[in-house]
């Protein structure tokens, strides 16, 4: 069986840097930070880290009926908005598609944590009879995918991938495989996250993984910088429209890039720490390259996982050196988490969107706040300023999650051959 070619035809993004592809990409290219003081958590419940990449201008009523808003957690609302933005960007008329050939793979690392916290307070303060009958549908992780399928009549495969911070990258990979095999024509692929809640932030803060640079929020996320002190929680969603090339060409769809490689491995090492040598991550990247038939020296740009943690940034740098050898020094590598914060389960799809737009516009986005490079992180991280008019034929996106989950996605500039 000849595998179907898979292309990205629509991008829907909701983040603290901007809502919608154009505003988001403009902010990324300009080096705009979306990190600020937290407003969603009462001061008394805030841990030592009081900053996050919070979205302050999102109105779910723009995308949903008031009754639907009441029945959904924020992570679902963000995903729904991103799905509508992706459809609009792809210029898709959903009524013309065979619904049985349209599917969804959308995940979340945490799910409806705000709903969990809210309903637990109701339980303890008012008793079990006062809990919402929608409690379970609001909190379970698969409901973003379920809502997207119902709202858009997508009756094909409907799946939810959960691999911590690699979640939406694996969602992209799983959707890619379904199209490759000819099971579907169109897939909604990505993830969403709304983790700016008391319990989530307290848990990460207790593990000493969050930055406490509270007086300089916009400078707090510092991937690969010697002075980094932890990551920044972010919220948002990214849903991409993936299509078989034949389907996209038939309807004259816009094409951002072609997805050509997907690698997935496990560290089998530690629940939170990566392998220090980055071996598991390196194997995922090698698998993606091998599937695409691409040589390491053909890759121009890497969107790093780059969370701004001490161990993670070093391990990823070592992984890139393992895979790319001498070419590693020629790569343009950036962590856009320096601007968006870490969207946990939504990060991979958001960064896949960055790769697609980087290829289309020939722009390598920056890693902001890289003022004092860590000597152990010595690649070209495109410090502080975007690099324009650069050749990007192949772009790689790395995503790694607690539990040792590794995912690598490879994209290339679309051509008919």
Catalytic residue IDs:
165, 305, 342
Q: Using an 8 Å Cβ cutoff, are 157 and 103 in contact?
A: yes
Q: Give the H or E element holding residue 337.
A: helix 337-340
Closest C-alpha to 51, from 221, 245, 259: 221
Cα distance between residue 156 and residue 146, in whole Å: 12
- DSSP-derived pairing of the beta strands 102-107 and 51-52: unpaired
- DSSP-derived pairing of the beta strands 158-159 and 6-15: unpaired
**Token output for 36:** 């600020």
3-state secondary structure at position 75: helix
Closest C-alpha to 324, from 282, 366, 377, 368: 282
Q: Give the H or E element holding residue 170.
A: helix 167-180
Q: Using an 8 Å Cβ cutoff, are 410 and 394 in contact?
A: yes
3-state secondary structure at position 144: helix
Count CB-CB contacts under 10 A for residue 226.
14
Burial class (CB in 10 A: 0-12, 13-18, 19+), 84: middle
Exposure string over 60-78, b if 16+ CB within 10 A, otherwise e: beebbeeebbebbbbbbbb
**Token output for 185:** 């024509």
Residues β-bridged to residue 140: none
Q: Using an 8 Å Cβ cutoff, are 368 and 31 in contact?
A: yes
Which DSSP string do the residues of 298-331 spell out, in sequence order?
A: G--EEE----S-HHHHHHHHHHHHHHHGGGGGG-
Cα distance between residue 63 and residue 85, in whole Å: 10
């Amino acid at each position: 069986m000849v595998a179907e070619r898979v292309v990205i035809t629509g991008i829907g993004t909701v983040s603290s840097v901007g809502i919608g592809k154009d505003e988001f990409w403009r902010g990324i290219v300009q080096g705009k930070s979306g990190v600020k003081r937290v407003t969603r958590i009462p001061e008394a419940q805030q841990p030592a880290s009081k900053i996050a990449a919070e979205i302050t201008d999102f109105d779910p009523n723009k995308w949903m009926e008031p009754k639907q808003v009441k029945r959904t957690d924020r992570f679902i609302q963000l995903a729904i908005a991103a799905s509508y933005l992706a459809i609009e960007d792809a210029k898709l008329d959903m009524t013309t598609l065979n619904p049985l050939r349209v599917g969804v793979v959308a995940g979340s690392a945490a799910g409806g944590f705000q709903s969990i916290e809210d309903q637990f307070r109701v339980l303890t303060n008012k008793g079990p009879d006062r809990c919402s009958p929608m409690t379970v549908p609001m909190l379970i992780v698969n409901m973003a995918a379920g809502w997207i399928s119902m709202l858009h009549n997508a009756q094909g495969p409907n799946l939810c991938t959960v691999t911590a911070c690699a979640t939406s990258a694996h969602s992209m990979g799983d959707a890619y495989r379904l199209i490759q095999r000819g099971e579907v024509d169109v897939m909604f692929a990505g993830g969403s996250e709304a983790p700016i809640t008391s319990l989530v932030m307290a848990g990460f803060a207790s593990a000493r993984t969050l930055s406490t640079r509270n007086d300089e929020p916009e400078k707090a996320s510092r991937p690969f910088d010697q002075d980094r002190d932890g990551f920044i929680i972010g919220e948002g969603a990214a849903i991409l429209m993936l299509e078989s090339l034949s389907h996209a060409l038939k309807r004259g769809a816009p094409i951002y890039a072609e997805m050509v490689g997907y690698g997935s491995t496990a560290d089998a090492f530690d629940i939170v720490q990566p392998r220090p040598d980055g071996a598991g991550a390196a194997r995922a990247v090698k698998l993606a390259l091998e599937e695409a038939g691409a040589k390491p020296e053909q890759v121009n740009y890497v969107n790093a996982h780059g969370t701004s943690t001490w161990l993670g940034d070093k391990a990823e740098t070592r992984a890139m050196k393992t895979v790319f050898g001498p070419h590693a020094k020629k790569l343009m590598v950036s962590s856009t988490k320096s601007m968006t914060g870490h969207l946990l389960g939504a990060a991979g799809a958001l960064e896949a969107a960055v790769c697609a737009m980087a290829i289309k516009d020939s722009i390598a986005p920056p890693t902001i706040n890289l003022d004092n490079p860590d000597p152990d992180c010595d690649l070209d991280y495109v410090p502080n300023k975007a690099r324009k008019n650069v050749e990007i034929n192949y772009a790689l996106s790395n995503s790694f999650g607690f539990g040792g989950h590794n995912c690598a996605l490879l994209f290339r500039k679309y051509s008919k051959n």
